Each structure stands twice: as structure tokens, then as C-alpha cells.
Amino acid sequence: MSGADLEKVARALVAPAKGILAADESSGTIKKRFDSIGVESNETNRRDYREMLFTTKGAADNISGVILYDETIRQKASDGTRLVDILKKQGVIPGIKVDLGAKALAKSPEEKVTEGLDGLRERLVEYRDLGAQFAKWRAVITIGDDIPTPYCLDVNAHALARYAALCQEQGIVPIVEPEVLMDGNHTIERCYQVTCDTLHEVFDQLYEQRVEFEGMLLKPNMVLPGKENRTAPPDEVAQATIRCFKTVVPAAVPGIVFLSGGQGDEEATANLNAMNAMGPQPWQLSFSYGRALQAPALKAWKGDKANFEAGQRAYLHRARCNGAARSGDYNDAMESSSAA
Ligand code: 13P
């Protein structure tokens, strides 16, 4: 794949009215989600749940791509069709989580570094053959009294850039995800500063390691106060977030696809909407939500095939609301008029 092909896929992922579904929960994370509705996390239940989401009619109007987990990219639906083929048939682009999780950072035990570079080139070749056109790697940055340290930002940014360069070498669009966590009681100003510092370091490393900005997407947190502090109104979040990105995200990057990070689902939609309502920016501003797209669908499903349609209605509703937020056209009335 040439650089132009990478850019084509990156741009398709942030096409108007569309965003990404993050359905790449690791085995540990999906177990936590299933525990919350009292459903056992086994291979069949995980397959059924994801099949429910991926077969939702009409979702492809607002969903450009889906990030899959290693198990899911190999899985077949109940009728024997590969889940990847179900997505492709609707024009939805399959993607894959390739990091192996955030582990304790040596000599700074409160911080984390993401693992998974060893053997990554070979895994990317296999995932590409299985149908993946884009990938995701998540780094986790925690805000605390004396953290993040420059050491933590440096090693995480370095790993993100090595991953991104390997993806582009294999013709896969890298989604670069440095997540500054909402955990804590910090102010929005502190989140602003840490997010700027993090992205500054990440783009330095991406540049050093020859990553083409046109053929990648950035998946960051929004600039928010810590969740034990307060909730900020959408306009305040939107202004702080855009101000930060204008300083540190090159205009050559086609799109910014936010993570929801534990925000409420309507809150994540309203914040994205407020950013897009500020008018055109150098990059497309879109979503790559996990919890904020799935939480109501998970609750409606309850692990029972009889609830497939209710789960799909709930998922479609969130996909539509976030699709509207791509152009600043989302409003409260959408929640009451077509809610599942
Ligand atoms: P959330 O939107 O639930 O934060 O998940 C997005 C994601 O992919 C985190 O890596």
C-alpha cells in the first residue's frame, strides 16, 4: 500500500457523519463489562454480543470502521460467516487492536508502559491477511501528584511511534492512542497541560520515526477535569480541547477520533458536538468510542438472544446521535425522540 492508499483509508474512517466503534475489549475488559450485567464471559457469549452489534441494520450510515480484538477477527457468526466479512459487506472497515496491554513501568511503579512491539511486524502481516486495514495501540498516562514523569511520556511515545511506523510499513493505518486518564481529582487546567505535553512528545517521536501524518489518525482523550473533581459543560471541554490540539497536532493529520474514557454516553456525544459546532478545524473531529457507543446496548441485551433487537436499537441510536455530533447537529431532542 502506498502513502496515498493509507491516506485514503484514514480519510474514509473519518468520512462525514461517521466514526469508529471500538469493540476491541481485551478478555479481561469484556469480562468486566459482562460482569456488570451478570453474564458469563465465554467465547459464545462474546461472539453473540459482537454479532448483535455488527449486524445492526443502518449502523453503517454512521460507523466507518470497527476495532476488533484478536479473538473476534478470527471469529464466525452463528451462521458461519466470518464477522470480518459481515462488516466488509456493509462497507465497514475492519481494524485490530495490536498492543498487548499497559504494564507497570520499571522504576516508576505508579505509571504504565504499553507492551507488544516484539513480533509486531509478523502479527501485522497476519492481521492484514485476515482483513484488517487499520490498527490501534493504546498508551495510558495517569495524572497524580508527581506524575506523569517525562520518563513515562518518553517511553510511551517512543513505543507508539515504533508501532505506527511498523503499521505504515505493512500498509495498515495506525491509530495512535495516548490516553490521559480521567481518574483523579485534578483540574481541567492540569489535564490541558498533561495532554499538551503528552501529544507534544508523541508527535516529536512520530516525526523522528518517519511516520507519515497523512496516513494515521490520532485517538486522544478530551481535555476534562478529573472525574472525582466535577463535570465541565460541553463548551468548556470543547474550547480547552481544541486549544490544546491547535498547539500540538499537525494539520497534516486527517482526523482526531476521540475515546470516551468513562464519560457518560450522552456526555461524550454532547462534548463532540460542541467541538464540531465551533466550526471547521484543520482535522476532522470524530469518535472512536467503546463504552459511549455500547453501554446502553449491553444493558438492553442482558446476554439473551431474545433481546437482540432491543440491543441493536440502543446501539443504532447512539451511532446516530454521534453521527449528528460530527456536524454539530446533535441536540437533546434527539435523545427523547428516537431513544430505544
Ligand atoms: P472508551 O471509549 O470506552 O474509552 O474505549 C475506547 C478505546 O478504544 C479505549 O482504548
Domain ranges of the chain: 3-336
**pLDDT of amino acid 340:** 46
**pLDDT of amino acid 338:** 57
**pLDDT of amino acid 322:** 98
**pLDDT of amino acid 157:** 99
How far apart are the CA of 276 and the centre of ligand 1, in A? 20
Please give, one letter per residue, the 3-state secondary structure of 76-102.
Answer: ECCCCCEHHHHHHHCCCEEEEECCCCE
How far apart are the CA of 287 and the centre of ligand 1, in A? 10
Smallest CA separation from ligand 1 atom 9, residue = 259
**pLDDT of amino acid 3:** 87
How far apart are the CA of 24 and the centre of ligand 1, in A? 8
State the CB neighbour count (10 A cutoff) for residue 336: 7
**pLDDT of amino acid 1:** 72
State the CB neighbour count (10 A cutoff) for residue 33: 18
Cell of 11: 480519510
Residues touching ligand 1 (Cβ under 6 Å) are 22, 138, 177, 259-261, 289-292
How far apart are the CA of 179 and the centre of ligand 1, in A? 9
**Looking at 115-265, which runs of residues are DSSP E strands?**
134-141, 173-180, 217-218, 255-258
Q: Which of 7, 111, 177, 201 is catalytic?
A: 177
| Residue with grid cell 474550547, as numbered in its chain | 239
Nearest ligand 1 atom to alpha carbon 260: 2
Smallest CA separation from ligand 1 atom 1, residue = 290
Pocket test for ligand 1, best of 289, 315, 318 (most atoms within 8 A of CB): 289
Q: Could you list the pLDDT tens digit for every one of the 340 residues in the chain?
A: 788 999 999 999 999 999 999 999 999 999 999 999 999 999 999 999 999 999 999 999 999 999 999 999 999 999 999 999 999 999 999 999 999 999 999 999 999 999 999 999 999 999 999 999 999 999 999 999 999 999 999 999 999 999 999 999 999 999 999 999 999 999 999 999 999 999 999 999 999 999 999 999 999 999 999 999 999 999 999 999 999 999 999 999 999 999 999 999 999 999 999 999 999 999 999 999 999 999 999 999 999 999 999 999 999 999 999 999 999 999 999 998 654 4
**pLDDT of amino acid 114:** 98
Distance between CA atoms of 207 and 227, rounded to whole angstroms?
33
Nearest ligand 1 atom to alpha carbon 292: 2
CA-to-CA dists, residue 320 to 147, 232, 279, 330, angstroms? 38, 24, 20, 9
Determine whether 51 is an active site residue: no
Distance between CA atoms of 40 and 30, rounded to whole angstroms?
10
What is the CATH superfamily name and number for domain 3-336?
Aldolase class I (3.20.20.70)
User: What are the φ/ψ torsions at residue 23 (nearest 5 degrees)?
Assistant: -120, 40
Distance between CA atoms of 183 and 251, rounded to whole angstroms?
30
| Residue with grid cell 469508529, as numbered in its chain | 20
How far apart are the CA of 260 and the centre of ligand 1, in A? 6
User: What are the φ/ψ torsions at residue 199 (nearest 5 degrees)?
Assistant: -65, -35
β-partners of residue 94 are 66
Cell of 69: 480484538
Nearest to 64 by CA among 19, 11, 5: 19
Distance between CA atoms of 52 and 70, rounded to whole angstroms?
18
**Looking at 143-182, which runs of residues are DSSP E strands?**
173-180
State the CB neighbour count (10 A cutoff) for residue 332: 9
Distance between CA atoms of 13 and 254, rounded to whole angstroms?
10
Nearest ligand 1 atom to alpha carbon 291: 3
Nearest ligand 1 atom to alpha carbon 294: 3
Determine whether 212 is an active site residue: no
Cell of 270: 454532547
